[in-house]
Amino acid sequence: MKIVIICAGIVVLLAIALLFSENRRAINIRTVGGAFAIQAAIAAFILYVPAGERILLSISTALSGMLNYSSEGINFIFGDLGRFKIGFVFAFHVLPIIIFMSALFSVLYYLGIMQWVIRLLGNGIHKVLRTSPAESMAATANIFAGNTDVFVLMRPYVPKMTQSELFALMCGGVASIAGSVLVGYASMGIEIRYLVAASFMSAPGGLLMAKIMFPETEPHNVADVSTTAFGTEEQPINIIEAATNGASTGLRLAVNVGAMLLALIALIAMVNGLLGWAFGLVGIQGFTLQLIFSYIFAPVAWLLGVPATEMLSVGNLLGQKLVLNEFVAYTSFIPMKTQLSEYSQVIVVMALAGFANLSSPAALIGVLGSLAPAQKSFIAKMGMKVILAGTLSNLLSAALTGLFFTLSH
């Protein structure tokens, strides 16, 4: 019965995307069907095929090793505060990892390793799905880098992109999570192998939803990104400068994350206090923002195959992710992990792994609007539709993972 529900959920997610399509007749079946097949194949390979499970485990083990290396720097700076002697402290054990991973990725870009990987995977997507080189490379880059970083990397091509390509670029950005942040989530106790799976599934998933909701109707931008200096603008003069530049970028990100969490969690507490007081006047106790999210998003959790007894808990997290952001949702997820089944934990990790939330349009307008001023009104107009596409991509990844998880257990 669960498999039937999950399959129905997949159909509903695709139907929602189709319902909001700008031009249903222009949808390219090869592109959409191929993207869905790749997304499903990744889920099947890592959950249903022994070789895939081993590869995913190897990648996860390597990334987990990054936590050990980062602890050397954390312990040097924070001493006993970084050695868990006073327990887990988010500011000491998560935010510094973002700085370290940002520096590492900057070094990998300086050495050309990331560009080689992005070109390899991006060319594969371009040839299989017949998407343009620019949007294919951008989708692949989002597996490893944050959306703002990818927008900057694609800066030479953004002004020449068609509206469909621009929509795909935005969808890929909000449907994914940055590699530097991914390891930070893992340090919080999130299962890293599913975070890795979500990152790779976000590339075809973002393109799938983008090409359903805004199919290509203009001539392709045929600029061959793979043969140009992709990601080499403003190169540091040596590897040391690359590392320090990356660390500075990571520091800004870590400070932003810390400040955002502090503010939002405090605001949630305040709103809950006001709701509790207001509804307490009429005899209703325990009314909170989380309770509202639980009931609104419980049907979505059910369509993902979550047991009825856990729908409200998972619905709450899905609501927090969309209305607030994924960091807040993951932070709320940690204390309730042991109360959820393994299946629901997998669904939560996959469904939350993306930047799509109600504050994302502002970032899209700010960054992409500066890179393509002529398209700023289009970017603003499409903001909420991009968030819907990114959310649907994350939910589809969760549904497909849940399907093959069920088949393999």
* pLDDT tens sequence across 5-45: 999 999 999 999 999 999 999 999 999 999 999 999 999 99
Task: Evaluate if residue 217 carries a pLDDT over 60.
Answer: yes
| Count of alpha carbons within 13 angstroms of residue 290, beta-carbon side | 17
pLDDT band at 222; cut points 50, 70, 90: low
pLDDT value at residue 109? 83
Domain that holds residue 95: 2-408
Q: What is the pLDDT of residues 269-278, one digit of tens each?
A: 898 899 889 8
On whether the CB atoms of residues 166 and 259 are closer than 8 A, the answer is no
Winning range, highest mean pLDDT, from 117-126, 161-170, 352-361:
161-170
pLDDT value at residue 230? 46
> For residue 27, what are its two tokens?
């949808």
Helix 192-213 vs helix 29-48: crossing angle, to nearest 10:
170
CA dist 204 and 315 (Å) reads: 25
CA dist 328 and 309 (Å) reads: 23
Q: How many domains are there within the chain?
A: 1
pLDDT band at 225; cut points 50, 70, 90: low
DSSP result, 9-56: HHHHHHHHHHHT-S-GGG--HHHHHHHHHHHHHHHHHHHH-HHHHHHH
Task: Evaluate if residue 221 carries a pLDDT over 60.
Answer: no
On whether the CB atoms of residues 174 and 360 are closer than 8 A, the answer is yes
pLDDT band at 232; cut points 50, 70, 90: very low
For the segment 167-181, the average pLDDT, to the nearest whole number, is 87
